[in-house]
Structure 1
Amino acid sequence: MNQQQQAGDVRMIPIDQIEVINPRERNNRVFNEIVGNISAIGLKKPIKVTPRATADGVEKYLLVCGEGRLKAFRSLGETTIPAMVVNVSDEDAFIMSLAENIARRQCRPLELLAGIRQLQEQGYTSKVIAEKTGLTQSYIQGILMLLHRGEERLVIAVEKGRIPLNAALSIVGAGDDDTAIQAALQEAYESGKLRGKQLIDARRIIERRKTLGRSAAHNMSGKLTDVTTSSLVRTYQHEVERQKSMVRKAEFAQQRLMFVVGALRQMFADENFVNLLRAEGLATLPKYLAERVWSGGSVA
């Protein structure tokens, strides 16, 4: 990041001159709390913006941090807002905004992960990302490793606190082999990494990962994933395999049924066996089997 960032001064800035460069969705309850607090006691901390000149000479500002406070002011009918003005580049403003959101940890898991990945894509190492966000370097390294493996389902579970990061890494390290995955779970349990509800959650996540894939239902921005040719091919291949599995199971069931029908025909061909069943009141079969064992559907 550019180190020539200048210390800012606080000014009253027209709200309609501020552009949000890194917008994010916000929980309504949290937003209402922000509005209520500002309405009751005012703005405790100014937002941060960086100025930009426009072709028509109108002064504009890019929002660096404070989107919730800005929206709250606008909803209260205010036209200006206290803002600390700093001079940074567009890239630095965007990075500062990402780091601010991640450091506060008030964003949704998907947004947090998207922010970490965006910081890395901007060229920052896991150590620098950790310094900027207040997260540990080992956590950043683990999350990035899971993201690179496409393990969105696991990484979201980690951020939500459903399973610990080291357990998720153990699961990934086991690959796709069911036996190895179960061994990893056993090791995690015995070492204390997974206990109680977390162990149950881990098993559920592994099952969904196996049946639904590593990617979550949403992409890292929290919006529905765009349909692409490759995603359609993967979906088609998954459905083909599912159908083949159903056919194999049906064929196996049919073979067993044919064996049962054949055995019953031989047994009911024995008059002594039939007389014994009659004596015990057992000389009937379910309609489905009876129609296949006897042409008339009942014992002679």
Structure 2
Amino acid sequence: HRLLRAVEAGQMPVSIAVMISQAQDNEIQSVLQQAYEERLLRGQKLLAAKKLIEQRRRRGKGYKTGPRRTDGAPLSSNALLRAYRQDVDRKRVLIRKSNSTKARLIFILEALRKLLVEPEFLTILEDERLDTLPKNLALRLHGQA
């Protein structure tokens, strides 16, 4: 009824009200509506926050193994916003680490390319019986992958 009144009053579009109404319980719906009305979360951010809060309700805050949390602390729009921002920050760190790892791998690949054209290095590898490479690495070194 709250969502219906908000739509009728022009405070929120029907699509947002439908998305909020699909949340698991009234508390989540209320917090999502409050976050939308206070202009804390809009559009895709609101949808991402909804998914995040439902996921945390099911599994708890972290990626721990063991018993899952079924009860939770009371929700508020500020808690929802804080959880959303923490999730975004965690994903940014993951992306930064991924990019750093990718750069290191490219560096190593280029170094191997340069070493493998040196006859002395190839002789040392053959003497030590290290002259074969895994198929995936060999393909990358020769520019086929």
TM-score (norm 1): 0.23
The structure where helix makes up a greater share of residues is 2
The structure where strand makes up a greater share of residues is 1
Larger-gyration structure (1/2): 1
